[in-house]
Amino acid sequence: MGNEFLDQGVFKVTMRELYSQGDVVLSFEVFPPKTPQGLEAVYRTVEELKSYKPGFISVTYGAGGSTQSQTLDIIHQIARRFELPTTAHFTIVGSTLDAIDSFLSQAHEVGANNIMALRGDPPAGEKSFKPVEGGLRYAVELVEVIRSKHPHFGIGVAGYPETHQEAKSPEDDLANLKRKVEAGADAVFTQLFYDNEDFLRFRDRCNKLGINKPIVPGLLPVLSLAQVKRITSLCGSKLPSQLLSALEACGEDTAAQQQVGIDHCISQCEGLLSEGIPGIHYYVLNRADSTREILSKLFPAN
């Protein structure tokens, strides 16, 4: 089956072309929610952010199973309703090679321009990642499958400024990233971080190793102290002491905490833009308010 969107130019632009055009590319990441109201929030978020002309909207792939088919449904709706380029995240958790192939074919049918090629985390309760029989072990193998069997997609991969939690060493983790890029990834999207120095050190080390694809910082504006503590403890990113103190000084006032998060993110973005980054990938968590305030400060013309 073909792709109903291919005659529209916007759906031919993959990450490959996007980051070679010279402009700073903004991208927004949403996740498949569990309720119909949650789904409306996803589309409202895209509606409220589309004036910033995102290079793509990316939709995560749920590790738990129940929301997995929703990734492609949401991609389809975003392509149809908003005529925006999209990136479908996909993880190899629990998928055989046939299931992987089928997901990739469907992603093409619903109009996805790119795939975010990920390994995924071990299912809850399991300590280490175990591939299914007939499945893959590392994200690099997924990049290889996409390049050989679905070459029309742009491919994004994950990078870790503060090193992936399971990596034996920062050097091993960077060697893995290099393999993913050599296998055909078009761009690297980082795990969230709150200290620009971590990103800049990581980018330098990538450059020295010859990882010569765009390295796009991933930023999550803090919404509240409780939320950022939970997220950073899950993904292993650190919460700088100054940011922590500013959040704690807000006491129970979550609106004030959100404003601290917005101000911190604006200053991160300004610092990163002055360092010549190719784009910014915002983890918007299905709400546009913080990201809009940040962008209205950075790009007042929109």
Ligand X SMILES: Cc1cc2nc3c(=O)[nH]c(=O)nc-3n(C[C@H](O)[C@H](O)[C@H](O)COP(=O)(O)OP(=O)(O)OC[C@H]3O[C@@H](n4cnc5c(N)ncnc54)[C@H](O)[C@@H]3O)c2cc1C
Binding site for ligand X (CB under 6 A): 60-61, 63, 89, 91, 116, 118-121, 138-139, 158, 164, 166-167, 172-173, 176, 180, 189, 191, 218
For residue 243, the minimal CB distance to ligand X (Å) is 20
Shortest separation between residue 46's beta carbon and ligand X, angstroms: 17
Which amino acid is located at 292 in the chain?
Answer: R
Closer residue to ligand X in complex, CB, 70/257: 70
By C-alpha distance, which of 266, 258, 261, 257 is closest to 294?
266
In the complex, the smallest distance separating the C-beta of residue 136 from ligand X, rounded to whole angstroms, is 9
Nearest distance from C-beta of residue 250 to ligand X, angstroms:
28
3-class DSSP state for residue 58? Answer: strand
How far is Cα 43 from Cα 48, in angstroms, rounded to an integer?
9
Paired residues of 220 in beta bridges: none
- Whole-angstrom CA distances from 90 to 101, 143, 182, 254, 277 are 11, 11, 19, 33, 25
Tell me which of 4, 29, 109, 270 is the catalytic residue: 29
Amino acid at 247: L
Cβ distance to ligand X smaller for residue 189 or 260:
189
**26 backbone dihedrals φ, ψ, rounded to 5°:** -95, 140
**Closer CB to ligand X, 59 or 262, in the complex:** 59
CA distance 285 to 259: 16
Among residues 238 and 302, whose Cβ is nearest to ligand X?
Answer: 238
- What minimum distance in Å lies between the beta carbon of 256 and ligand X? 29
Please say which residue, 143 or 294, places its beta carbon nearer to ligand X: 143
CB of 116 to ligand X, least distance (A): 6
Q: Residue 147 gets which letter from DSSP?
A: H
Respond yes or no: is residue 48 known to be catalytic: no
Does residue 292 contact residue 48 with C-beta atoms inside 8 Å?
Answer: yes
CB 287 within 8 A of CB 262: no
Q: Which is nearer to ligand X, 97 or 167 (CB)?
A: 167
Task: Confirm if 95 and 132 have CB atoms less than 8 A apart.
Answer: yes
Give 35's contacts (C-beta < 8 A, 6+ positions apart).
none
Kindly write down the DSSP assignment for every residue of 76-137, as one continuous string.
HHHHHHH---EEEEEE-TT-BHHHHHHHHHHHHHTT--EEEEE--PPPTT-SS--PPTTB-S
Which residue type, as a one-letter code, is found at position 24? V
Query: Which residue numbers are catalytic?
Result: 29
